[in-house]
Amino acid sequence: MVFIFKLLLVLLLLFILFNLGRAMIEMVKGPNSDDDDQETSEDEKPMSFYLGRRVFLSALAVVLMVAALLSGFIEPNIRPY
């Protein structure tokens, strides 16, 4: 069961990195300079959408780890060396 929880956290962190990469792509791409071309696809989302999702998922990961630590589901490493 602990393995599944750790796998869930790793997948969550990978999804956070994916959203950060998508935000970077949107930032580099910038706004469309073609004002007369109104055929922009509706699935294009602004950079803030991906950054907001990343912040939400990061907060969720922290809350899940704190809840797991407080409930005794996972144990912290008492010797960091």
Q: What is the pLDDT of residues 58-81, one digit of tens each?
A: 999 999 999 999 999 888 888 877
CA nearest to 6, candidates 48, 54, 14, 80? 14
3-state secondary structure of 79: coil
Average confidence (pLDDT) over 21-27: 91
Domain boundaries, the chain: 1-30+47-71
What is the per-residue pLDDT for 40?
Answer: 55
Assess contact for 74 and 68: CB atoms under 8 A: yes
What is the per-residue pLDDT for 33?
Answer: 54
DSSP H helices in 1-81: 2-29, 47-71
Report whether pLDDT(36) > 80.
no
Whole-model pTM over 0.85? no
